[in-house]
Amino acid sequence: DTEVTQTPKHLVMGMTNKKSLKCEQHMGHRAMYWYKQKAKKPPELMFVYSYEKLSINESVPSRFSPECPNSSLLNLHLHALQPEDSALYLCASSQERGGPADTQYFGPGTRLTVL
Amino acid sequence: AQSVTQLGSHVSVSEGALVLLRCNYSSSVPPYLFWYVQYPNQGLQLLLKYTSAATLVKGINGFEAEFKKSETSFHLTKPSAHMSDAAEYFCAVMEYGNKLVFGAGTILRVKS
């Protein structure tokens, strides 16, 4: 099973709302990722968690707050977003065997629209 | 920093024709390279990856790619295109820290 699940599939929120995106995997992977993909653009890395610790933050604005409650779950808390934050948010996971060749498995994404 | 360049933002082929999607990399060290496919409104699916074990890499759905160090290329090919291959294809290189850096993507159109 190489499935990464993400909920919700679609999310519409106002600029004053607080919402969360959820990602889950049951492959025993110890690295999890958040990517942002704007329309007609490639995915861009936002955060990396390794063994439940934040290891990479690609200078993402603080209105995005990641959380890794356990090795299977990854959340992305959203607050005071801007319309330009509208995008497809992709979650991925990998085994984290310590090498650069770990395959990242992606979820289907959450389509976020900020009004 | 490592990077990849995908030549051609759109490629159109007839059903049954050869598919060739181009990717060139820039890296000061032996790279780890990946090809992913993304169908409309979906996530990314790994097609294949190069990790220095073999220069010709076979992937899923009949795709393969050849690593050519002399040309700094990792082009994706498939002998015979199917309608179901229509999608966007991303070449990516792995940076230190498990950071995947993607190319701009190539949209493949398959004509009947």
Per-residue pLDDT at B51 = 83
Interface test with A, best of B44, B74, B99 (most A CBs within 10 A): B44
Read off the tokens for A60.
Answer: 């993402």
pLDDT of residue A98: 57
Nearest-5° Cα angle at A87, A84 to A89: 135
pLDDT tens across A55-108, in order?
Answer: 888 899 999 999 999 999 999 999 999 999 999 999 999 987 656 568 899 999
Both tokens of B6, joined, read: 């995908």
pLDDT value of position A22? 98
Q: Do A102 and B42 touch (CB under 8 A)?
A: no
The pLDDT of residue A39: 92
Chain B residues contacting A, CB < 8 Å? 32, 34, 36, 41-46, 49, 51, 90, 94-105
The pairing of beta strand A18-25 with beta strand B3-7: unpaired
User: Whole-number mean pLDDT of chain A?
Assistant: 92
- Which range, of A36-45, B21-30, B64-73, averages the lowest pLDDT? B21-30
φ, ψ of residue A85 to 5 degrees: the values are -85, -5
Q: Let me know: does A66 contact A34? Beta carbons within 8 Å.
A: yes
Using the structure block, give the residue that is written with the tokens 């999310």.
A11
Over range A1-22, report the average pLDDT. 92
Closest partner CB to A42 (pick from B46, B95, B104): B104
**pLDDT exceeding 90 applies to what percent of chain A?**
79
pLDDT for B28: 73
pLDDT at position B31: 84
Torsion angles phi and psi, residue B96, rounded to 5: -60, 140
CA of A17 vs chain B CAs: smallest distance (Å): 24
User: Which region, left, alpha or beta, applies to residue A113 given φ > 0 means left and ψ of -120 to 50 means alpha?
Assistant: beta
pLDDT by residue (tens digit) across B46-65? Answer: 999 998 778 899 999 999 99
The percent of residues above 90 in pLDDT, for chain B, comes to 76
Instruction: Please determine, for residue A115, whether its predicted confidence score (pLDDT) is greater than 70.
Output: yes
pLDDT in tens, B30-50: 788 999 999 988 899 999 999
Reply yes or no on whether the pLDDT at A28 is more than 80. Answer: yes
Instruction: Give me the mean pLDDT over the B75-98 stretch.
Output: 93
Cross-chain CB nearest to B97 (options A42, A56, A92): A56
